Amino acid sequence: MFRAIFIIFAGRSKGVYLPLQRIMLNPSKYLTEEGLALFQKMMSSLDKLNNQLNIALADLTCEDEGPWDLFEVMHKEMLFWEADLRFKHKIKKEVIEKSKATVKLPYNILLGILCLVEAELYHALNEGSELKIAISSEPNPCVTFSWSGSLYLQNLEKVAELIKPYATLTKNENSLTLCFNQ
């Protein structure tokens, strides 16, 4: 199902891209100098979107079992979530590695778990919040999310139930720890 959705999105973005490339062949015919600068930015954004769709499709269909370095995966996740401009510019973020931690799961399942937890947490953060993400390996591979301020995690119990076969969630006042069952 996801594969079909991504193929449709990729097809639609290419459908937009092709007529725009015709404009690029003779920009002076269609655009002012100011319009050309904006058009080039738009084309660059469209290129980035196509690349992100291709990467996301590859990630979602990857069933390789790793082991996956959690620190590297979390850095990649930050890039994904920074597509949300509020998260990118209004939330101060830091990812630290307390100890080397790897997870042996199919990659698409690992990303699905992280995405569920992150969606619940990141959307609840207030502008100006500080988010610290710590990776550790004791006793199991864990990711601890700590934040400034208070927030309400509305669907945390549902998320915990969904990921139960693979990981556990522990919430404290200003932190949430995701530990993988390894």
Q: Which CATH architecture has domain 68-180?
A: 2-Layer Sandwich (3.30)
In contact, 77 and 114? CB cutoff 8 Å: yes
In contact, 136 and 113? CB cutoff 8 Å: no
pLDDT at 152 over 80: yes
The conformational region for residue 6 under phi > 0 = left, psi -120 to 50 = alpha, else beta, is alpha
Task: Write down the H helix ranges in 125-172.
Answer: 156-163
pLDDT at 10 over 80: no
Which tens digit of pLDDT belongs to each residue from 64-110? Answer: 898 999 999 998 888 878 877 788 888 899 999 999 999 999 999 99
**Cα 173-111-132 angle, rounded to 5 deg:** 35
Indicate the pTM of the whole model.
0.75
Q: Which strand (E) or helix (H) includes residue 86? A: helix 85-90
Please state the domain extents for the chain: 2-61, 68-180
